[in-house]
Amino acid sequence: MSMDASYLQYARRRYGMDHDRYAWSQLHERPKVAWPNGARVALWVVPALEWFPLDMKGKPFKPPGAMVTSYPDLRHYTLRDYGNRVGIFRVMKSLAARGIRASVAMNAAVAVRYPALVSACVAQGWEILANGLDMDHLHYEGLPAGEEQRLVTTTLDILRRASGQKVRGWLSPAKSESYATPDLVAAAGCDYLCDWVNDDMPYAFATPSGAITAMPHPCDIDDYQILINNHHTEDDFTDALVDQFDVLFSESAEGGGRVMAISLHPWIIGQPFRIGALEKALDHMLSRRGVWPATGSEIVDAWRAQKPA
């Protein structure tokens, strides 16, 4: 059977990128970025406070951490709830002891169900980072435009009202986007987006409302990926964070500032037998001169002030 010639036709086929979201560039060829006070690495810690409904529909897929067994899956539901009731406070204590303020990726449902938790995060000086409505309302192509607009508006309205913050950043639940998601969150007043994992540094990301900043938020070294999905040990988690940092710190000597982003889930890393793995890695990083613990908004502002290409 012959293939129709139209199969090989693609209107966006050209040299370079097949979209207009950002210009093609390689990190080592970009202008060097200098962080405040001569810092070489910006340390960005992003704990996630999530709510997983018991009766998850899982459309179009079940996100990491979703319910597993038949309804009601109380074993997994209560473990996730452990993070919001217990684990997050261990993470807070560990970060506060090291002078680190986090950007907490929060579902709007958490702000509704646990308002005291929002107050605790704000009291720590943490930035609130929008993480969608809850973990069963994903953003994806095929979602009615009006419905996705409602999800974005509702999420940001709840989090802004609960925290008293502008809420400048957006991380989609499970990093799942439609083609319209960046446009919707930019139009709603967000300054940066964490869904794309194709860089180690911020870069300008085009939308009809103007450029927002794509922030590096890697999924390969977060606690869920290493400890739960890959079944590695706590020592492996420490080693992965240390190795990631050491390479970025080394590159910064010639390539300019870098971002060390750490994604955490308090129901995982907040367990008594795991919190030490995070603390060991952080102590290693902070033992180096030239490490700047910062929130996502602080990193974005410092990066934009230099107008790098």
Enter the tokens of residue 114.
Answer: 């646990």
Burial track 256-291 (b if 16+ CB lie within 10 A, e otherwise): bbbbbbbbbbbbbbbbeebbebbbbbbeebeeeeeb
Give percent above pLDDT 90 in the chain.
Answer: 91
Answer yes or no: is pLDDT of 38 > 60: yes
- Give me the pLDDT at residue 87, please: 98
Higher pLDDT, 308 or 245: 245
Answer yes or no: is pLDDT of 257 > 70: yes
Question: pTM of the full predicted structure?
Answer: 0.94
- Give me the pLDDT at residue 69, please: 94
CA 226 to CA 10: how far, in whole Å?
38
Q: Give the pLDDT confidence of 131-164 residue by residue, as tens digits.
A: 999 999 999 999 988 999 999 999 999 999 999 9
List the domains of the chain with CATH numbers: 30-305 (3.20.20.370)
Q: Is 290 left (phi over 0), alpha (psi -120 to 50) or beta?
A: left
Q: Mean of the pLDDT values across residues 206-234?
A: 97
Band (244; pLDDT cuts 50, 70, 90): very high
Q: Mean of the pLDDT values across residues 70-96?
A: 97
Burial class (CB in 10 A: 0-12, 13-18, 19+), 57: exposed
Residue in 39, 35, 69, 67 with CA at minimum distance from that of residue 54: 67
Residue in 173, 171, 260, 275 with CA at minimum distance from that of residue 227: 275
What is the chain's mean pLDDT, rounded?
A: 95
Band (308; pLDDT cuts 50, 70, 90): low
CA 71 to CA 68: how far, in whole Å?
9
